[in-house]
Chain A
Amino acid sequence: MPGERLGIMRRLYLELKNQQFYYFVPPVVLFIVVPLAVLAAIKNGAGDNFPECAFIAQLFIPSFAAWWPLLTLKEYLNSPGRELLFVYKSGRDSLLLKMIFLWTLYLLHVLIVFIYFAYVFDYVWFLFIAITIQSMFMIALGYFLSLLFHNTFVPLIVNFSYTSIFVLVLLYSPLSIFQIGTSFNAGSLDKSTFVGVIALILFYGGYQLEKHLYKNSI
């Protein structure tokens, strides 16, 4: 078992290496774009800048959570020879497990950004929890749609369209997973709980699709 776990990590490393410079898109967004946008908001704003920070964080961070997972899924769904990967992979080595590993990896990066936020603002950790769950939702949605359509481009478009629409246009829609213009405290996590449940349902649906991906189709 430990050897198998190391094997999964080794494969994940090679899958991320295969992404070449695309791998660096989320770190660039997290470590350059988001902090610079927040700094700009602080410089231009007056009084409490935390709502601006929460807005910027929700605009960028959840949408890029699905970046690595979708590029990893691409090899399993769109690359020549993808059936070989399904022939060799064992039952324990599911794509779902990869999604969870990549979510964890992404959260480690997000955590670094939030350590910076914690120096500038108070009460950032409720926002961190909300963004953690939003990121999980985005990965779950990407995973489910990829397996549904056997394609990773459609989920990528859906992902960025959803974020753009609900963060920039339909700010207060009940269909939004985001919490724009609200203060973040323990009570504000009710919506996150609901989003988390939806994400788990999407993961479950995706996993059922994954199990039958090759069994009965050409």
Chain B
Amino acid sequence: MLTLKNLSKRFKSKEVLHSINLRLDTKVYGLLGANGAGKTTLMRCMAGLYEPQQGEILYNDEPLHKSKSFRQDLGYLPQAFGMFQELTLYEMMDYICSLKNIAKSKCAFEITQALTSVNLENKAGDRIKTLSGGMLRRAGIAQAILGGTKLILLDEPTAGLDPGERARFKNAVSELKKDRMILMSTHIVEDIDACCDSVIVIDSGNVLFYGSCEELRNIAIDKVYIVKSADSDSIDGDKFILKINELEGEIYHRVLARGKQDYQSEKPTLEDGYMCLVKGLA
């Protein structure tokens, strides 16, 4: 559906993306990476906002700028969302409908359906400036799915949300995933675990990993140990302390280590797999 071939993007002398090759189908993908890894630049290239210096992006085997269906199929949620503060949510959706060239006769139905799918139907008459951060993010999803979009790009959709709002957001994504390609960039591994089928890990503009959540988790098999803080130094080779917890007055470290250790290894999480990758312990 969406194919990236040898994609590179540079800002002046700084190369932000290096020869990225990806093929994305109708699934939910998580784009994981630290701040500054190149996630937003990659999303903006995919949305057609940036022109890459090298390589190309194809939508259904056609270059983005030549594809007639790309603009109609695209739903995009940028990191910052909340323009037209003085309009009501319904009017803002109407504006987006008009931008997406959705027929006027279908707009009311499309808007109602989109707002209902993110539980904001009772906020349609409220001004944008009165919505909470979580509501704005859900409104962002609602505008992204207007017009039956097939390709949805969500850039850091859960950043700054409280746990309740994050849960509602993830539920909304789960309900929308049927027959759509959704790419969600984040640096919160939990969000990927909760709603994505596949993961793409990028670091310094390079794709480090592309596969299923299970495959990413498996990278950390036999590399995760929970040891008392005093024993942490006894772990051989390269290691990384992922978490420090206190349990019954004792401090424990969750340690990622490259080689087999004298401790019982733990079942890895997605975060373990991700950290093993980015810390060079894979």
A residues with CB within 8 A of B: 3-4, 6-7, 10-11, 14-15, 17-20, 75, 79-90, 93, 214-218
Chain B residues within an 8 Å CB radius of A19: 86
| Contact, CB under 8 Å: A217 / B87 | no
Residue B169 is within 8 A (CB to CB) of chain A in the complex: no
The answer to whether B99 has its CB under 8 Å from any CB of chain A is: yes
B83 touches A80 (CB 8 A): yes
Task: Kindly report which residue of chain A lies nearest to residue B103, judged by CB atoms.
Answer: A3
The answer to whether B94 and A82 touch across the interface, beta carbons within 8 angstroms, is: no
- Write out the residue numbers on chain A whose beta carbons fall within 8 Å of the beta carbon of B84: 14-15, 18, 75, 79
Alpha-carbon gap, A17 to B85, bound state (A): 11
- In the complex, what residues of B have CB within 8 A of residue A10's CB? 94-95, 98, 104
Instruction: A214-B44, A218-B11 are known; give 12 further A-B pairs, CB within 8 A.
Output: A7-B98, A7-B101, A14-B91, A14-B94, A18-B87, A75-B83, A79-B82, A81-B83, A85-B83, A88-B99, A214-B50, A215-B49
Given A17-B91, A18-B87, A81-B82, A216:B99 Cβ within 8 A: no
Say yes or no: is B63 at the interface (Cβ < 8 Å to chain A): no
A10–B100 alpha-carbon span in the complex (Å): 13
Report A44 CB to chain B, min CB distance, Å: 41
| Inter-chain contacts of B44 with A (CB < 8 A) | 83, 214
- The reply on B76 being an interface residue by CB < 8 A is yes
Q: How far is the CA of A75 from the CA of B81 in the complex (A)?
A: 11
Chain B residues whose C-beta falls within 8 Å of the C-beta of A83 in the assembled complex: 44, 49, 78, 80
Contact B50 A84, beta carbon cutoff 8 Å: no
The main secondary structure of chain A at its interface with chain B is helix
CA distance A177 to B107 in the complex (A): 45
Contact B101 A90 (CB under 8 A): yes
* Shortest distance from the beta carbon of A4 to any chain B beta carbon, whole Å: 7
- Which B residues lie within 8 Å of A17 (CB)? 86-87, 91
Taking CB atoms, residues of chain A closer than 8 Å to B103 are 3
Contacts of B11 in A (CB 8 A): 216-218
Complex Cα spacing A100 to B195, Å: 46
Tell whether B71 is near chain A: CB-to-CB under 8 Å. Answer: yes
State the CA gap A217–B12 with chains docked (Å). Answer: 9
10 smallest beta-carbon distances between A and B, as pairs: A80-B80, A88-B99, A81-B81, A79-B83, A80-B82, A81-B83, A7-B98, A18-B86, A87-B76, A87-B47
Partner of A84, one of B41, B81, B91: B81
Q: B98: which A residues are within 8 A, CB to CB?
A: 7, 10-11, 14
| Size of B's binding interface in residues, CB under 8 A | 33
Chain B 31-65: CB-based contact to A (< 8 A → 1; otherwise 0): 00000000001001001111100000000000000
Residue numbers in A under 8 Å from B143 (CB-CB):
84
- Asked if B99 contacts A85 (CB within 8 A), the reply is yes
**CB of B281 within 8 A of chain A?**
no
Point out the residue from A18, A90, A215 that lies within 8 Å of B71, measured CB to CB: A90
Residue contacts A-B, CB under 8 angstroms, 30 given: A3-B101, A3-B103, A11-B98, A14-B87, A14-B94, A15-B84, A17-B87, A17-B91, A18-B87, A20-B86, A75-B84, A79-B82, A79-B84, A79-B85, A80-B82, A81-B81, A81-B83, A83-B80, A84-B76, A84-B77, A84-B83, A87-B48, A87-B78, A88-B71, A90-B101, A214-B49, A215-B51, A216-B11, A216-B50, A218-B11
Nearest CB in chain B to that of A6: its residue: B104
Bound-complex Cα distance A83 to B91 (A): 19
- In the bound complex, CA of A7 to CA of B98 (Å): 5
- Kindly list chain B residues whose C-beta atoms are within 8 Å of the C-beta of A87: 47-49, 74, 76, 78
Residue on B nearest A217 in the bound complex, by CB: B11
CA distance A75 to B77 in the complex (A): 16
B96 within 8 A of partner (CB): yes
Cα of A87 to Cα of B140 in the assembled complex, Å: 14
